Amino acid sequence: MKLNEKDIELLRDYWEDELIATNLYRFLKKKVEGEKKDTLNKLAEMELGHANFWQTLAKHHFNREFKMGLTLRIKIFFYKLLAMITPLSFMIYYLELDERNAAIGYSEVLDKFKDDPEAYEKIKEIIYDEIAHEATFTDMILGEKSYLTKVKEAIYGMTDSLVEILALVIGLASVISDPLTIGLAGLISAIGGTFSMTSGAYLSTKSQNDIYEGNIRDIELKASLTESALIDDIKRALTSKGIDEVAVDKLIGSIRQNKKALENLAKSLEIEETWTDPKEVAITTGTYYILGAIPAVLPFFIAPFLSISTITVAIVAIFFSSLVSFIAGIFTAILSGINIKRKAIENVLIIIGATLATFTIGTVAKILLGIEI
């Protein structure tokens, strides 16, 4: 067995992730009633068992003991805070994606423990648990996919507007001294962009619905005529993600008699699209596009009443737009199952980068061409 420091770090990451999940499930169960509360409680205890296993594995192979430090406590607090301020369906959706990533990650380390039969079998069991958890979360949010898609469209419209309109007004601020003129130019651009975004979102959603409906019909046909074909598709989808075949067979064997569960699992694995109303998507995208322009444009309309300089207004606009973009990044990360901190910071850096670029271009044009209004 060839193990190194990178492997011990992997085990630590797995241990931390399981502890975060344990605490998050325990927190979320306070927000639900009945069967969902029992389900989240069982998942919390199961994840704690997984964390203890990774700890035991580290002790056995590396003589290391993981301890909960300040950084991990802050992470747990942060996730609880997110769970407190976001809708339950958001966090459930995030956890569904997280369980999928965990199963894939664990399957990648499985081969390293082939010389330890006990550990090998336990890791396979954990992989099975994580896949089963994903199916559980899929059932819990079934019917809310369209709502989550609508939120995604809103965030997309808002962030797109933030970058475009802020970059425009900051670029104009380098050559135009009147903040009201800059604000009007930004507002006109935002209105034009709203019509463009609305039309594009409508046409894009109609095309996506055609693909979605075709995939749904295909899965339902397989479920009604030939269950074996559906099972083959599930196996292929799971193994293509790097999940051990034995763990896949164990999962399918446990739900094989439940045709609805098989259908739901197949849909969650194979269908990335969700059916949405093109009109709703167009209205949502357009509405949030114009709302996204407010932090960038509004300060320029207020500036004349406060008698502050155009540069000062530009800094205020950048600050508020960055704040909104940071929050939007958090929601985007939750709905995409990606690193929350990285996505939020990335959004802010994009905002700052775009504004620096347009301000620089405007300044250079003013100096070289003598343009100033």
The pLDDT of residue 299: 92
Q: Is residue 218 assigned to a domain?
A: no
| Residue 178 sits in the same domain as residue 243 | no
The pLDDT of residue 113: 80
Rg of the Cα atoms in the chain? 25
| Residue 153 sits in the same domain as residue 298 | yes
The pLDDT of residue 271: 62
Q: Is residue 217 assigned to a domain?
A: no
Structural domain that includes position 159: 145-212+276-369
Residues in the chain predicted with pLDDT less than 70, given as ranges, are 1-3, 100, 134, 138-149, 213, 215, 220-227, 268-276, 337, 369-373
The pLDDT of residue 184: 92
Q: Is residue 299 assigned to a domain?
A: yes
The pLDDT of residue 372: 61
Give the model confidence (pLDDT) of 121-143 as tens digits. 888 888 888 777 767 776 666 55
The pLDDT of residue 221: 67
| Residue 301 sits in the same domain as residue 352 | yes
| Residue 249 sits in the same domain as residue 281 | no
The pLDDT of residue 222: 67
| Residue 25 sits in the same domain as residue 59 | yes
| Residue 203 sits in the same domain as residue 66 | no
Q: Is residue 134 assigned to a domain?
A: yes
Q: Is the dihedral of CA 14, 15, 19, 25 positive or negative?
A: positive
The pLDDT of residue 297: 92
The pLDDT of residue 319: 92
The pLDDT of residue 35: 80
| Residue 15 sits in the same domain as residue 131 | yes
| Residue 40 sits in the same domain as residue 115 | yes
The pLDDT of residue 223: 66
Given a contact cutoff of 8 angstroms between Cβ atoms, the answer to whether 359 and 170 are in contact is: yes
The pLDDT of residue 318: 92
User: What Cα–Cα distance (Å) separates residue 121 from each residue in 8, 159, 373?
Assistant: 19, 46, 73
Rounded to 10 degrees, the C-alpha dihedral 65/70/71/76 comes to 100
Tokens of 129: 């648990």
| Residue 12 sits in the same domain as residue 113 | yes
